[in-house]
A and B are shown apart, each in its own frame.
Chain A
Amino acid sequence: MAYLDHAATTPIVPAATAALTKELGELGNPSSLHAAGRRARRVVEESREVIAAAFGARPSEVVFTGGGTEADNLAVKGLYWNRQEQRPRPRILASSVEHHAVLDPVRWLADAQGADVVWLDVDEMGRVDPQQVHDEIARDPESVALVTVMWANNEVGTVQPIRECVQAAKPFGVPVHSDAVQAAGHLDVDFAASELDALTISAHKLGGPLGVGALLLGRSVTPTPLVHGGGQERDVRSGTLDTPSIVGFATATAEAIETRPQRIEAVAALRNELIAGVISEVPDATLNGDPRLDVAHRLPGNAHMSFPGCEGDSLLLLLDARGVHCSTGSACSAGVAEPSHVLIAMGSTAAEARSSLRFSLGHTSTRADVDELVAAIGPVVQRARAARSTASATSTAHQR
C-alpha cells in the first residue's frame, strides 16, 4: 500500500496518540473551578502555549476550534459581520483558489447577506498578485470588510505571497485572514512576522488528531461568534474545550516543528523523485502549480499532475485497485469529483482539470511508496486513456 494523500490527512504521530489517549482517561472540564477542572485547564493552557510558540503567536491569540473549516468560517463570517458594525462594508477580497472552507462561506455571504466579492485572480501557477489586493482596496478602502488569501494551496501546492498581500492591505486598516491548514507544520508559518490578523491551522494535517484546529487571532480583531454558548474561547468560540484533542494537537505540533528541517528535505526529495519517475513513465504528464520546487514556492509534499486524455477518477480507481492512494482534488458531499476550481482559475479547461491527480507525501512516506506509484502509473494511464476514448466515442456511436 502506498499512501500518497497526506494533504487529505496525514498519519497521527505516536506521541500525539499517546498524549491524547492518556488524556481521554483523565477527568475534568477545563472550565470547572475545582481541582479536576484546574488540572484539565492546565493541560489546555500548556497546549495553547506550545501551539502559540510554534507559530509565532501569543497564547492569548490561539482560539481552539473543531477543525480548520470552523476556524475559516469564524474568520470569514465572523470578521465580515464584525466589520459591518460601524458602517456597511460589503466587499470581501478572496483569492479564487481558496479551499471550500473559505470559498463557501464567502459565497454564502454574497448569496445570503449581500456581500460583494472580489475574486482575486491568480496566474497560471496559482499565485495571487498583491498589487491587485492593493488596487482593489484603494478603489474604495472603506467598503472592504476583509481580505482572505490562503498560505499555500491544498491542490497544487502553490505558496502565496502572504507577506506582500498583508502589506498591501495594512495601510488601509483592512483585516487579512489566511488559511494555513496546508502550510502549518510544513512551511515556516510565523503569525507575528506575517502581520496577519487571523490564521487558520488544523491538527490532522500535521500529525495530530482529526476534529481539532485553531484560529490564530490578533488581539485587535473581534469576529462575531458563529457558535454562542459558554464563551470558553475568548468569548469568540463556545463549547467545552476538548482537552484530549487539544493536547494531541499540541504534541503533534511540537514534533512537527522539531522535525521540520530534516522531514521537509526528505519529503521534498521523494516528491522530486515521484515527479521525475511519473514523467519518465508518462512523458506527456505535466506538473501543475509552481515549477520551482523549493519551499518558498511550493509545498514540499505536493505533486499535482495532469495526464492528458485521462479522467482523473478513472486513474484514481485504477490506482486504488493497485493499492496506491491519491486524490483528484476536492470532493463534494456525494463523492463526485468536480473539475477543480483551482485549475480553472489557473486557466485550465474543464477537461484538463478533470485529467489531474494530486499526490501528496508526508512524514511516513518512503521510497517504496514512490516506486509503487511509478511502477503502476504507466499501465494505469494507458488503460484510463482507452476508457476516455471509448467514452467520447460513446456519444456518437449510440445514436439511434
Chain B
Amino acid sequence: MRVLAALSGGVDSAVAAARVRDAGHDVTAVHLALSSNPQTFRSGARGCCSLEDSRDARRVADILGVPYYVWDMAEEFRAEVVDDFLAEYAAGRTPNPCLRCNERIKFAAVLDRALALGFDAVCTGHYAQVVPGPAGPELHRAVDADKDQSYVLAVLSSDQIAHSMFPLGNTLKPQVRAEAAAAGLLVADKPDSHDICFIADGDTKGFLESHLGEQKGQILDRDGAVLGEHSGAYGFTVGQRKGLGLTVATPDRSPRYVLSIEPISNTVTVGPREALQVRQIVAERPQWCGPVVADGTRLSFQHRAHGETVSGSVHVRGDSLVAELDLPVLGVAPGQALALYDGTWVRGSATITATA
C-alpha cells in the first residue's frame, strides 16, 4: 500500500512509520506544521511542531529512506482547534483539543488529502489498535493501558478507521523506545509530550487569560451566597479543588469543589465533594466508530482522557445520548468527550452537555 506517515518528530510516530515501511509498504512522510509561529526548540515534555521537532522528523525520514514533506496546516489548526478551544472555555465548557485535532485535522484534512493524492492510508504513532471485525475494521484500546489513546480517537468514523494504521497499538512503550534505538532513530530517548501543544509554557490559565481577557465574576455556593470573586470563569473546570482563592472556610473546614460554570452570569458554583457525584451523563452529537449502538446496550464509559471507566447502559435519543451509570463518578466536565467502550472496542463518543 501507499502509506502517508505523519511524523511529529517524536519517537512514537517514528517507530510507527518504521514498522509500516518494514512491512513492505511504500511510505511517504509528512510533518504537520500546526503553528504559524513555531518555537525554535522544544522545551521538555511540552509542545510540538517546534523547528527542532521538524528537523527531528526530517532526520527520521532520512534514516527510513522515505520522502519527507512539511504540510502547513497552521491555518486549519487555528480555526478548527485553537479557536474552538477558546470558544469552548468561554462558554464554560472544558474541551479536549487533541480529540478535536484528530477529528478535524489529522484524520480529516490530512487523511482526505492523502487519499485524494493517491495514498491508501495514513499511519500515526497513536496507541490504539485497528482490528478486523464482522462489520469492518474496529478501533480498540492499545495493549499499553498507560499509553492508550483510544479516547482521543473515539471521534473517528468507520471509514476513517479503515484508512488508518496505528502500528504501536500492540506494543508497550519501553519496547517502542528500544526499537527506535535499535533502528538508529535519534529520537529514541526524546521525552513524551503530554501537554497541550499550542500552549508552549504549559500555562493554560495564562493562555486563556491572554486571549479571553479578564472577566470578573462571582463564586457562589449552592444556595447562591457569594463566597468570593474570580477573574474569569473560563479558568475553572468542574471538579477543580485547588486555586479557588476563597477565604471563607466551610463550617467543617471540608474542601470545596467547582460544581458548575455558568457563562451567561459568569458565575462559578462550588460545593462539597458529594455534590460532584453523577449517575447520569447526557452527551450530544454522537460519533459512531462503527455500527450504531442499540438503545439500552450495556457499555463502559470514559469521560476524560486517562480517566477511569464505569459501566452502565446507554440510551440513544436521536442526536443525543444518555449514559446511566452503575456507580457514581466525580468531576464530569461539560465539553469533554464521553467515550463508549464495549470491552476494549471503541464504539463511539459524544460531547458531554449535562449531568445528573
Seen from chain A, the residues whose Cβ lies within 8 Å of a Cβ on chain B are 313-314, 316-318, 320-321, 333-338, 383-384, 386-391, 393-395, 397-398, 400
Contact = CB atoms under 8 A, between A and B. Distances in A.
Interface residues of B, number: 29
B67 A398 contact: no
Contacts of A387: 112-113, 116-117
A314 B69 CA distance: 10
Contacts of A388: 116
Contacts of B70: 334-336
A336 B103 CA distance: 23
A394 B108 contact: yes
A383 B69 contact: no
B177 to A, nearest CB: 26
Contact of B109 (A318, A321, A386, A391): A391
Nearest to B112: A390
Contact of A335 (B69, B79, B112, B116): B69
A337 B117 contact: no
A321 B28 CA distance: 9
Given A386-B116, A387-B117, A390-B112, A400 B287 contact: yes
B33 A398 contact: no
Interface of B: 28, 31, 33, 38, 51, 54, 58, 67, 69-72, 74, 76, 79-80, 103-104, 108-109, 112-113, 115-118, 155, 285, 287
Given A334-B51, A337-B72, A390-B113, A383 B67 contact: no
B117 A334 contact: no
A325 B116 CA distance: 21
Given A317-B67, A321-B67, A334-B54, 5 more contacts: A334-B31, A335-B58, A335-B69, A394-B109, A400-B103
A334 B33 contact: yes
Contacts of A394: 108-109, 112
Contacts of A386: 116
Contacts of B38: 334
Contacts of A383: 116-118
Which of A333, A334, A384 has most chain B Cβ within 10 Å?
A: A334
A340 B113 CA distance: 22
A316 to B, nearest CB: 8
Given A314-B117, A335-B58, A390-B116, A398 B108 contact: yes
Contacts of B108: 394, 397-398
What is the predominant secondary structure among interface residues of chain A facing chain B? Answer: helix
8 contacts: A313-B72, A335-B31, A335-B70, A387-B113, A391-B109, A391-B112, A395-B80, A398-B104
Contacts of B285: 400
A338 B75 CA distance: 11
A87 to B, nearest CB: 37
| A-B CB proximity, top 5 nearest | A387-B116, A335-B70, A390-B116, A390-B112, A336-B72
B185 to A, nearest CB: 19
Contact of A317 (B54, B115, B117): B117
Given A333-B51, A335-B54, A384-B117, A317 B112 contact: no
Contacts of A314: 113, 117
Contacts of B69: 313, 316-317, 335
Contacts of A318: 117-118
B321 to A, nearest CB: 14
Nearest to B103: A398
B107 to A, nearest CB: 9
A390 B67 contact: no
Contacts of A391: 109, 112-113, 116
A397 B104 CA distance: 10
Contacts of B72: 313, 336-338
A336 B32 CA distance: 9
B39 to A, nearest CB: 11
B87 to A, nearest CB: 14
Contacts of B103: 398, 400
Contact of B115 (A321, A337, A338, A390): A390
A319 to B, nearest CB: 12
Contacts of A313: 69, 71-72
Which one of A318, A333, A397, A400 has the highest number of Cβ atoms from chain B below 10 Å of its Cβ? A400
A46 B58 CA distance: 41
Contacts of A397: 108
A313 to B, nearest CB: 7
Nearest to A317: B69
A386 B54 CA distance: 27
A3 to B, nearest CB: 16
A320 B109 contact: no
A387 B112 CA distance: 7
A317 B69 CA distance: 8
A318 B117 CA distance: 8
Nearest to A338: B72
A334 B72 CA distance: 10
Contact of B76 (A321, A395, A400): A395
A336 B117 CA distance: 18
B71 to A, nearest CB: 7
B6 to A, nearest CB: 14
Contacts of A338: 72
Contacts of A334: 31, 33, 38, 51, 54, 70
A318 B71 CA distance: 14
Nearest to A316: B69
A383 B67 CA distance: 19
Contacts of B118: 318, 383
Contacts of A393: 112
A397 B108 CA distance: 9
A258 to B, nearest CB: 38
A320 B79 CA distance: 30
A394 B79 CA distance: 13
Nearest to A354: B72
Contacts of B71: 313
